[in-house]
Amino acid sequence: MKIILGISSSIAAYKSYDLARLFVRNGDSVFTVVTENSLNLISPLTFETLTGNPCYYDSFVRERREMGHITLKENAGLFLICPATANVLGKMANGIADNLLTTTYLSVTCPVVVAPSMNPAMYSHPAVQENIERLIKRGVHIIEPCEGKVACGDCGKGKLPDISEIFKKALDVVKDS
């Protein structure tokens, strides 16, 4: 199955390397789409090495003469955003398509799964919760974050669940679709 794995700029972004590896071991073809800000935390080359496919971060790649969001959506079986920041959730919920990740979201017709990861105060903010509810109403599947200590030292709900749990839940969504 073709998987589009979106990565936004949460400190948990490094965990998406292991997620990509799990899908590849499962026999899936993984194409990563990363936000510009996530490039401060992760490397496209690492994703390309792990998946054997290009890592997309620019909406218009002249060398390949393609529009990434249109090319990526073709034959996709799953679009999984892990981790998803408050910024990305807000853009998705409000139809803002100002980067490759959000334009890809608006163009896909496959199941969409999102794993939020952020500071607990941010996650519990009414604006973030309203955006999540809006996405759920539109059919987006949300993998709830865990309670625990996050990178900044705060404790509460906002921590990315174990990658193996995200992998299993994402595959379950595809099976149920």
Q: How many angstroms separate the CA atoms of 148 and 175, rounded?
A: 30
Q: How many angstroms separate the CA atoms of 13 and 31, rounded?
A: 15
Q: For position 137, what pLDDT does the model report? A: 98
Assess contact for 15 and 160: CB atoms under 8 A.
yes
Higher-pLDDT residue of 72 and 140 is 140
Question: 2-176 in CATH: which number?
Answer: 3.40.50.1950
Residues 6+ apart with CB under 8 A from 24: 30, 50, 51, 52
- Residue 58 per-residue DSSP state: -
Mean pLDDT value across residues 116-124: 96
Q: For position 62, what pLDDT does the model report? A: 44
Name beta bridge partners: 81: 6, 114
Q: What are 20-67's pLDDT values in tens digits?
A: 999 999 999 999 999 999 998 999 999 999 999 999 887 655 444 454
CA dist 83 to 6, 15, 74, Å?
8, 8, 23
Q: How many angstroms separate the CA atoms of 146 and 159, rounded?
A: 5
Residue corresponding to tokens 């999984």: 80
Is residue 161 reached through a cis peptide bond, with omega within 30 degrees of 0 on the bond before it?
Answer: no
Residues 6+ apart with CB under 8 A from 9: 35, 37, 38, 40, 41, 85, 87
Q: For position 61, what pLDDT does the model report? A: 53
Mean pLDDT value across residues 126-150: 97
Assess contact for 117 and 85: CB atoms under 8 A.
yes
Q: For position 55, what pLDDT does the model report? A: 93
Token pair of 138, please? 């539109």
Residues annotated catalytic, as ranges: 152
Q: For position 65, what pLDDT does the model report? A: 45
Q: Is the pLDDT of residue 119 over 90?
A: yes
Q: What are 87-101's pLDDT values in tens digits?
A: 999 999 999 999 999
Mean pLDDT value across residues 64-71: 55
